[in-house]
Amino acid sequence: MTTPTTPPAAAPDLVTFGESMALFTARRTGPLRFARDFDLGMGGAESNVAIGVSRLGHCATWVGRVGADEFGDLIRSTLLGEGVDARAITDSAAPTGLMIKGRRTADLVDVRYYRAGSAGSRLTPGDLDPGLITGARVLHVSAITPALSASARDAVRHAMTLARSAGVLVSLDVNYRAALWSPAEAGAWLREAVADVDALFVTGPEGRLIADVEEPAGLARALAALGPRHVLVKAGSEGALELSGDVVRHAEPYRVTEVDPVGAGDAFAAGWLAGWLSGSDPDERLRTACAAGAFAVTSQGDWESLPRTADLRLLQRRAPDGVDR
Amino acid sequence: MTTPTTPPAAAPDLVTFGESMALFTARRTGPLRFARDFDLGMGGAESNVAIGVSRLGHCATWVGRVGADEFGDLIRSTLLGEGVDARAITDSAAPTGLMIKGRRTADLVDVRYYRAGSAGSRLTPGDLDPGLITGARVLHVSAITPALSASARDAVRHAMTLARSAGVLVSLDVNYRAALWSPAEAGAWLREAVADVDALFVTGPEGRLIADVEEPAGLARALAALGPRHVLVKAGSEGALELSGDVVRHAEPYRVTEVDPVGAGDAFAAGWLAGWLSGSDPDERLRTACAAGAFAVTSQGDWESLPRTADLRLLQRRAPDGVDR
Amino acid sequence: MTTPTTPPAAAPDLVTFGESMALFTARRTGPLRFARDFDLGMGGAESNVAIGVSRLGHCATWVGRVGADEFGDLIRSTLLGEGVDARAITDSAAPTGLMIKGRRTADLVDVRYYRAGSAGSRLTPGDLDPGLITGARVLHVSAITPALSASARDAVRHAMTLARSAGVLVSLDVNYRAALWSPAEAGAWLREAVADVDALFVTGPEGRLIADVEEPAGLARALAALGPRHVLVKAGSEGALELSGDVVRHAEPYRVTEVDPVGAGDAFAAGWLAGWLSGSDPDERLRTACAAGAFAVTSQGDWESLPRTADLRLLQRRAPDGVDR
Amino acid sequence: MTTPTTPPAAAPDLVTFGESMALFTARRTGPLRFARDFDLGMGGAESNVAIGVSRLGHCATWVGRVGADEFGDLIRSTLLGEGVDARAITDSAAPTGLMIKGRRTADLVDVRYYRAGSAGSRLTPGDLDPGLITGARVLHVSAITPALSASARDAVRHAMTLARSAGVLVSLDVNYRAALWSPAEAGAWLREAVADVDALFVTGPEGRLIADVEEPAGLARALAALGPRHVLVKAGSEGALELSGDVVRHAEPYRVTEVDPVGAGDAFAAGWLAGWLSGSDPDERLRTACAAGAFAVTSQGDWESLPRTADLRLLQRRAPDGVDR
Amino acid sequence: MTTPTTPPAAAPDLVTFGESMALFTARRTGPLRFARDFDLGMGGAESNVAIGVSRLGHCATWVGRVGADEFGDLIRSTLLGEGVDARAITDSAAPTGLMIKGRRTADLVDVRYYRAGSAGSRLTPGDLDPGLITGARVLHVSAITPALSASARDAVRHAMTLARSAGVLVSLDVNYRAALWSPAEAGAWLREAVADVDALFVTGPEGRLIADVEEPAGLARALAALGPRHVLVKAGSEGALELSGDVVRHAEPYRVTEVDPVGAGDAFAAGWLAGWLSGSDPDERLRTACAAGAFAVTSQGDWESLPRTADLRLLQRRAPDGVDR
Amino acid sequence: MTTPTTPPAAAPDLVTFGESMALFTARRTGPLRFARDFDLGMGGAESNVAIGVSRLGHCATWVGRVGADEFGDLIRSTLLGEGVDARAITDSAAPTGLMIKGRRTADLVDVRYYRAGSAGSRLTPGDLDPGLITGARVLHVSAITPALSASARDAVRHAMTLARSAGVLVSLDVNYRAALWSPAEAGAWLREAVADVDALFVTGPEGRLIADVEEPAGLARALAALGPRHVLVKAGSEGALELSGDVVRHAEPYRVTEVDPVGAGDAFAAGWLAGWLSGSDPDERLRTACAAGAFAVTSQGDWESLPRTADLRLLQRRAPDGVDR
């Protein structure tokens, strides 16, 4: 019998910021115009990571702007409800952004954005409390935020600088979004920013925005040469690779039935960062990252499917008849 | 950017243009953030009028821009499916706009827009085929379009000028949208534009953006003094008033059970314009307008509920036990 | 632009406790066995009041037990998400209770409970932090809690005693539940407890469990004679009556379209207590209570429909065509 | 503690037969083509009466043909599940008929049939067990059945003759269906058949298919002159009138909120017949009929909404706050 | 053309009893607290077997207690509708139990119970009509019932003794439920009870509650040594094994696409018992059991998916394009 | 009976005709009687092909009869909305036909018809505008139409004769429907009609209605010997075979995740005919046919899932993480 989630007076373990949006998800597979029924929820790469880290037992703070509207309230209450210290700044001059998500076919998820000029894109360096960042153990950002606006880009670099100055681990997940900027623009920003990153999360194609190496281990070494102490190269159902110091570790993928691939990358980052915060040994930390990523695709939702510590054990054992009662 | 769907040879009875949007409608009453389930459809004041006129037996053409996306396709196929000659110009530089609609309470519908910078707002005078307008019998516009962008505003005035020059009836429904411009901005535009209008549709508050008269008949006279030959003042469940020439006509409201108030004004305009196109006498024409407006609130949807000629007779008779079988 | 809901380090304005439950709500009107589709949510009289007071701008803490299950998590995250300082104690020895709610007919809501032996019913005096209660300005309880178990009954009296000793306003809403105890049992408990109550909320039938007076003002006086400084007698669509000191105030009901009557009483109490916390004058305070109660029935859900300050203004004004856009 | 519904070895109180169909019900109000979502159920005027009489405590047998398909199974299992002795004869040469039901507007229900050549329409005199009919106390038929086919028409007259010969009360509800036959055809059949009827149920317009009298009491007398001992003239929300022997009784309508008008007439007949079977005095019997008819419109479904004895008491009393818990 | 399901006056082929519950099934995969939409139905291991045996052409009687509530009515009407002679005893002192069922992930079904103190758990020996049991050919019980209450445990042993004394085949499906009792408690009861069992159904882990043998054939022999003439060891997608007398038979699994694993074990038992009742030869009987188990997982629902004789042929043949029309 | 919707001036690329029906699709897998929720849409083999050809960039005209009802309107507006020149002739003497579609198991789709005596089955040779057919480049028919009625059979042969006389390519897809006629009846008609066919589409079993050859290439040769220049033998997930002149081409199947198999054959025909209309070389044409057929099974709906040219490229590439954003 325990009393959980008393609000954190102390400094958080992890601070992150970015844009979260209302999310309309189509219920049936096929072209969106025939979808008819949609569920309303919310999502955002950084807030997904905050929820993921929180579910694995650490204190996470998320900062971002939302509109003075129902969708802003939805984002705030969802994050507070998940135990994240959500600092959702109400910007009455712009609406909360939207995502529309569907399945074009059984094998292809389709995501569209209404975020141009949104409240979330208007983040500024001044929105970030310096003490919050320097008092944390991890700062996590994504390369979505610099693609949103000039002020948002400044906010990311400002935060990274603050964190570096205070010895806070700087984590960057590339999360390349073709709808927001070109590979060339993303590559230019990333090549510059990566020097201030401690832990870098990429897929192969994302890594090649920065360094033109095909083979995963070589790619990781090329990226590490630019700054990061930890490089994580994710290969979806092929597993993942970690380069930390001189050591390359390979993780086998978990065999799961995929229900919704969205959120797997955020879950991987959350798992790895939770392992780092817990002081797990590197093998265990990488296994946690892979298990979290695998678990996240086994049910619906961008963040609803993020695992708790107990859930990760479900991947190892299954009820004899597939029914737990 | 391409114009699809070969147009019909003959000239339409009515031409209209404006912005149509994808429409997400919440299924339950209450704050949108708790709505959970949404239906996808489409809507737009001018395309609603085009559908309404088409259902009452006249040929209607609608012109507008849509994005190169599923929602643009949805707008095009819905209008074509309703028998409207839909000239949906694909603008690949901007997305189709969105509306989100819910019921805050049983008595208050709540509509939010995502249309800033949308394809629909990028309409230009050049999008309008002059021969199409001058060959029609009615040009119908709303005062939503001038609030969308400078080029859209130019398009409205350009079309009105073309129509006037060719003796085409110019119909304007004010449709004031507080989310798009201030009363002062709207009033300034309307006071200037109304000089070129033949048939003007207003509610009382909309009329007072132009002329500060409280009493409906006096308001109608003040508006007619600025140009229009026909002034229609709608008062919802209180009925409506028409001033044509010197004659003021009052129409009693129909007693119906309201299911969804959205679209009633568009239905009223469609009914009146269909009556005008049919050469109905003024009393009959006003009755048709009121009946169409009343019918439109008796079922769900912005345009789905627009009546056909046969439907208008349902208002007069009802099956003895309320069941038609 | 404001940063809301940083977790309260300071003492709350209001403390309440009780049982909250998972809530399955049938989507169609008729006997539950034909209902087929249900929504999942949560509810509980005291947590409803906490949400209501929080939405009207005050800090509220709720304490209660939940099971170590999904429904317990749902209660915790819903309350945190609504800005309530939710101290949901996980009791792994019993499950979270359930409510099943439907509409037997258009005019009769039907609520069934699965709460015997539930986690929520196992509340004990030791679950309540004395400093939390004595540091607040209001303690709010309902007479549901004493009907749940002996330890829960002790918890209520223990908290009332603590509050009285510290000069904290003790608020009691009778909330008679026929499924939990008989009128005689409830009456006996209430007649004893009411001596320690400052603000008492009753309907007429509830008041008559304590004092056998039919006429509302006389009933209020009879109840006040037993201790409470403030007696509120609610009469649903007939309005309400307040006796404070020697003054009887009558409040006219608001005319609204009822969508869901559940939660109206909780909203009334929340409105009154928020008025008291704000130091509103008594007339204003009673109007706020009535407005909150009226607003709560205009949309679906036990607590989803609770008003914010801005919402209360919606009762005074309505968009001319019933559409806000 | 009771053991209910052991299958009736003994003769039933009431025997009825006719066509029951699968029923698709649209979930939203408006033209069927926009309805999108439908519920599947079943219905049929005579089986509705059988369910209604069964819910009010009497044994009812229903006979009819269904196809060798899922919809036939649905009809059989629904009726068995409701405690009706359902003798659903499987006719593998024809499919089960369908009904499609929607609300054209808030005030008009729209029902379409797919029953031409259906299994149900192929009923023959030989399908009816003579001993079943002569052993019952009531034979109930509707004037839908003679409109289905020649063999079905023969079955009705055959059954009426059998019942008359054995002193079984013959009950006929006109249930005029414009989709099946013309007023002239229906009138001709009815004028002939009514001579063998003991209890006749009509609405005003239905009565005038037989006798051209406008005023209800006069109409009842004109109908009684043709044979029936009991004539019931239903006027929906205006109440009802019974002529039994020389006595005319008027019943005030119950004031209820209508949710679905379909099934009210069947409920009225079921209520009256249940009263007759129970030996209620005529005033009580007519009140039961009206109460059953009123109750049936307060929730969704053709038969789901039929009352039990306990439900009829809900019309008299309502929970103080409209919530029963 | 046949007249089906006249209620059985004669003795049933199979008698079973136990607890059936209302069943809320989540519509989407993931943690229950995010499930939002639920279907209402019913279920229970023994009533599933009764339905299964009935669908395969034999008369089945089910006995059990339900509450005086909508859920009790739902259980009764569902079973009657499926042709089971349902003797649902109404116990007004306790509510009908509930199950909540969801999919935690694509591969793991999650079932929760609200059955402590339920009507169903209050079954007593006196609820069972001795003549009913001694007149049947099979008595089927599960080891869920003895875990519900002392009186339910007595009822099971009482029924087994009656059946044995009359030469009725006693069938026991272990159906171990970890939520109801510990492996040690279950093992103790089973080791004692198994002596009176003729046909025993176990999974490997269930069998090892009784006899600690890993290898299936060895386990079956160890179990048979304790009494049962027939031991069935189910291995899900690995097939099954039967030991009858000295002969061990192995059945290959059917290759099907699993939609819902719940109910497979009940279907297997129903198939085997139907084969026994039909006097099938042992090979055929085991094939029927496996086919029924396989078929039951190919569609949704605990019992809705149980096969009829014709359905079992669907496993052998499939339409060339997967469409039957 | 009227022909609405003015046709476009220019001649279409393809003309087709047949029966389209309203389509109720069950939302859950299992026996239809438990399906509860259905979607409303429309379908028909020939109109599916018209939509498919239109989506791939060619002008298609569809001719058919519909009832004077909501379902007829639904068919007309769906086809117009998809860009098909829909000549839906309103036949007020008969209703629009229906299809009911569900999934009996995960692997078997179940389709039932209500089309006996439907408007669509009443097609006559006179409904077909000779100039429309002789002015087109392709006439496409199915062997469903001759099974509907004598007049429909005449219409097919009449159209084929007209087309042959004008050098229009005659395409026939066998589409054998066991519910409409026997293999013997179908075979007799096909053996006679195939002499006038240029492009013949069959599955193996369909081909063997005409010529008794098991091996696909041999079957194709036997069919070609009866007349057709092009014979396409489809083998579902095994790929397809084309015999054109003396050349046999084999197409490998695409590996896709099947969501709904209905419509794959229509998509295959549409792809092949679009390739023929575009003058693609035979290899490319067959690849397009296979790709269209494969794409059509990857999402829900009979025609909603038909590909556009751009969609066919989705089969070759997939977003790295299965998410396109």
Provide mean pLDDT across the span C244-264: 91
Per-residue pLDDT reduced to its tens digit, B205-245: 999 999 999 999 999 999 999 999 999 999 987 889 999 99
Residue C317's pLDDT band (cuts 50, 70, 90): low
pLDDT: which is higher, C172 or A322: C172
SS3 for chain A is CECCCCCCCCCCCEEEECCCEEEEEEEEECCHHHCCEEEEEEECHHHHHHHHHHHCCCCEEEEEEEECCHHHHHHHHHHHHCCCEEEEEEECCCCCCEEEEEEEECCEEEEEEECCCCCHHHCCHHHCCHHHHHCCCEEEEECCHHHCCHHHHHHHHHHHHHHHHCCCEEEEECCCCCCCCCHHHHHHHHHHHHHHCCEEEEEHHHHCCCCCCCCHHHHHHHHHCCCCCEEEEECHHHCEEEEECCEEEEECCCCCCCCCCCCHHHHHHHHHHHHHHHCCCHHHHHHHHHHHHHHHCCCCCCCCCCCCHHHHHHCCCCCCCCEEC
Residue C10's pLDDT band (cuts 50, 70, 90): low
pLDDT, position E307: 96
Cα distance between residue F115 and residue C143, in whole Å: 62
CA distance between the termini of chain A: 22
**Is the Cβ–Cβ distance between A75 and A68 less than 8 Å?**
no
Annotated active-site residue in B13, B173, B198, B266? B266
C26: part of which helix (H) or strand (E)?
A: strand C21-29
Look at residues C63, C84, C64, C61 and name the one whose alpha carbon lies nearest to residue C5.
Answer: C84
Tokens matching residue D141? 């038929």
pLDDT, position E88: 98
| Contact across the interface for C5 and A86, Cβ inside 8 Å | yes
pLDDT, position D236: 80
F163: part of which helix (H) or strand (E)?
A: helix F150-165
**Is the Cβ–Cβ distance between C205 and C189 less than 8 Å?**
no
Residue B7's pLDDT band (cuts 50, 70, 90): very low
**Is the Cβ–Cβ distance between F4 and F76 less than 8 Å?**
yes
| Contact across the interface for C30 and D304, Cβ inside 8 Å | yes
**Residue B12 neighbours by CB under 8 Å, 6+ apart:** B59, B60, B61, B85, B132, B135, B136
Q: How far is CA F258 from the centre of its chain?
A: 19
Least confident segment among C303-317, D279-293, E197-211:
C303-317
pLDDT, position B131: 97
Nearest CA in chain D to F114: D114
Amino acid in the structure at residue D118: S
| Contact across the interface for E98 and C95, Cβ inside 8 Å | no
- Give the neighbours of chain E: at least 3 Cβ pairs within 8 Å: A, C, D, F
pLDDT, position E4: 38
Q: Which residues in chain C have their CB less than 8 angstroms from residue E103's CB? A: none
**pLDDT tens by residue, chain D, 325 residues:** 333 344 444 689 999 999 999 999 999 999 999 999 999 999 999 999 999 999 999 999 999 999 999 999 999 999 999 999 999 999 999 999 999 999 999 888 999 999 999 999 999 999 999 999 999 999 999 999 999 999 999 999 999 999 999 999 999 999 999 999 999 999 999 999 999 999 999 999 999 999 999 999 999 999 999 999 999 999 987 889 999 999 999 998 888 888 899 999 999 999 999 999 999 999 999 999 999 999 999 999 999 999 999 998 877 666 667 777 7
CA distance between the termini of chain D: 22
Nearest beta carbon to residue B107 from set C39, C301, C318: C318
Looking at chain C from residue 179 to 238, which residues have their Cβ under 8 Å from any Cβ of chain B?
none
CA distance between the termini of chain F: 49
**Is the Cβ–Cβ distance between C100 and C111 less than 8 Å?**
yes
pLDDT, position F192: 97
Residue E317's pLDDT band (cuts 50, 70, 90): low
Tokens matching residue B284? 């009959």
pLDDT, position E1: 39
pLDDT, position A253: 86
**Is the Cβ–Cβ distance between D253 and D179 less than 8 Å?**
no
- Give the neighbours of chain A: at least 3 Cβ pairs within 8 Å: B, C, E, F
Per-residue pLDDT reduced to its tens digit, B110-145: 999 999 999 999 999 999 999 999 999 999 999 999
| Contact across the interface for B322 and D110, Cβ inside 8 Å | no
Cα distance between residue F224 and residue F218, in whole Å: 10
Cα distance between residue D132 and residue D87, in whole Å: 11
Nearest beta carbon to residue C301 from set B30, B107, B203: B30
Judge whether residue C319 has pLDDT over 70.
no
pLDDT, position A319: 61
The DSSP annotation for E44-101 comes to -HHHHHHHHHHHTT--EEEEEEEESSHHHHHHHHHHHHTT-EEEEEEETTSPPPEEEE
Residue keyed to tokens 């399945």 = A103
pLDDT, position A255: 85
Give percent of chain A above pLDDT 90: 86
Nearest beta carbon to residue F320 from set A104, A106, A205: A205
Q: Which residues in chain C have their CB less than 8 angstroms from residue D314's CB? A: 104-105, 108
Q: Known catalytic residues of F?
A: 266
Cα distance between residue F252 and residue F291, in whole Å: 10
**Is the Cβ–Cβ distance between A151 and A117 less than 8 Å?**
no
Looking at chain E from residue 86 to 125, which residues have their Cβ under 8 Å from any Cβ of chain C?
95, 98, 112, 114, 116-117
Q: Which residues in chain D have their CB less than 8 angstroms from residue E5's CB? A: 76, 80, 86, 88
pLDDT, position F5: 41
At CA E284, angle to CA E283 and CA E287, rounded to 5? 90
Tokens matching residue C324? 């806000």
Taken in order B33, B35, B39, B44, the sign of the CA dihedral is: negative
**Is the Cβ–Cβ distance between B180 and B148 less than 8 Å?**
yes
Give percent of chain C above pLDDT 90: 86
pLDDT, position E238: 84
Q: For A14-18+45-95+121-297, which CATH class? A: alpha beta
Cα distance between residue B292 and residue B269, in whole Å: 9
Judge whether residue C214 has pLDDT over 50.
yes
Residue A238's pLDDT band (cuts 50, 70, 90): confident
pLDDT: which is higher, D192 or C254: D192
Residue C131's pLDDT band (cuts 50, 70, 90): very high
Residue A2's pLDDT band (cuts 50, 70, 90): very low
Q: Which residues in chain C have their CB less than 8 angstroms from residue E179's CB? A: none
Least confident segment among A40-44, C278-282, E237-241:
E237-241
Domain positions in chain C are: 14-18+45-95+121-297
